[in-house]
């Protein structure tokens, strides 16, 4: 009754000739994604929550015709910069559910105060249909293999779509935070994508924490 749901979406073009394989690889590592934020103090993987029958929670989602990877569960410590200090200070710990998808990942955040946000990270491609109105479209998994931004047929983008729910009291603050954080996170993702000495697909990308001054 006193909560509000809203969605914010944004996308940033990837630079030419970067590896789409590597872009997907980065999005398949929770630590790599969450530490794109300069406000992340740390994170650790935790066991899945138990349901009433004592069995761990599972996920059966599919994407582009294939079964998604098992759900991962994480605890994250964050500075929570968008909250006024008189309301909340000293940072916060929250739980996150992480799901690898063929073309990115889904991260659902459960934070104090009833704030929940599912953030859909995707590598998408520009399409120009007959009406010449540019749009972004998801790409089938088979077409993502060995794709490069230098190929013809439209540019590639990193896209974030956040479906959030919070108290009406904080709606304006959270909306502003999501808008600003999308820009910062997409910029940080591209900078990481351009870094040298990444491992090949299936390896673990280098995980470095960014400083706020770099954003």
CA distances from 185 to 70, 97, 99, 131, 214 (A): 25, 18, 18, 32, 12
Look at the block and give the residue holding tokens 């990837």: 14
**Strand, helix or coil at 11?**
strand
pLDDT of the residue at 113:
72
Residue 55 carries which DSSP code?
A: P
Q: What is the pLDDT of residues 6-37, one digit of tens each?
A: 899 999 999 988 889 999 999 999 999 999 99
Identify each DSSP E strand in 14-78 by its residue range: 40-46, 62-63, 66-67, 72-78
Between CA 97 and CA 154 the distance in angstroms is: 32
Q: Which residues contact 66 (CB under 8 A, 6 or more apart)?
A: 102, 141
Q: What is the pLDDT of residues 45-92, one digit of tens each?
A: 999 987 655 555 544 444 444 445 799 999 999 876 555 555 555 678
Instruction: Report yes or no: 34 and 28 within 8 Å, Cβ to Cβ.
Output: no
Domain residue ranges in the chain? 3-48+59-196
Q: What is the pLDDT of residues 30-50, one digit of tens each?
A: 999 999 998 899 999 999 987
Q: What is the pLDDT of residues 107-155, one digit of tens each?
A: 999 987 778 999 999 999 987 665 555 577 777 665 665 566 555 445 8
Indicate if the alpha-carbon torsion angle 179, 180, 183, 186 is positive or negative. negative
Q: Which residue has the higher pLDDT, 144 or 183?
A: 183
**Mean of per-residue pLDDT scores for the chain:** 77
Q: Indicate the CATH number of 3-48+59-196 among 3.20.20.60, 3.30.530.20, 1.10.760.10, 3.30.1330.10.
A: 3.30.530.20
């Amino acid at each position: 009754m006193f909560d509000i749901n809203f969605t914010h979406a944004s996308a940033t073009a990837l630079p030419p000739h970067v590896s789409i394989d590597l872009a997907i690889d980065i999005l398949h590592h929770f630590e790599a994604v969450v530490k794109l934020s300069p406000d992340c103090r740390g994170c650790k993987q935790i066991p899945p929550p138990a349901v009433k029958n004592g069995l761990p929670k599972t996920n059966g989602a599919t994407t582009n015709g294939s079964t998604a990877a098992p759900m991962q569960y994480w605890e994250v410590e964050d500075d929570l910069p968008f909250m006024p200090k008189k309301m909340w200070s000293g940072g916060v710990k929250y739980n996150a559910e992480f799901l690898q998808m063929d073309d990115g990942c889904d991260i659902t955040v459960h934070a104090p105060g009833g704030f929940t946000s599912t953030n859909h990270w995707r590598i998408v491609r520009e399409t120009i249909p007959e009406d010449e109105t540019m749009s972004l479209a998801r790409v089938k998994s088979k077409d993502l293999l060995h794709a490069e931004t230098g190929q013809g047929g439209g540019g590639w983008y990193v896209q974030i779509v956040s479906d959030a729910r919070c108290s009406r009291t904080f709606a304006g603050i959270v909306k502003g935070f999501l808008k600003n954080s999308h820009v910062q996170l997409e910029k940080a993702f591209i900078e990481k994508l351009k870094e040298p000495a990444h491992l090949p697909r299936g390896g673990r990308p280098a995980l470095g924490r960014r400083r706020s001054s770099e954003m």
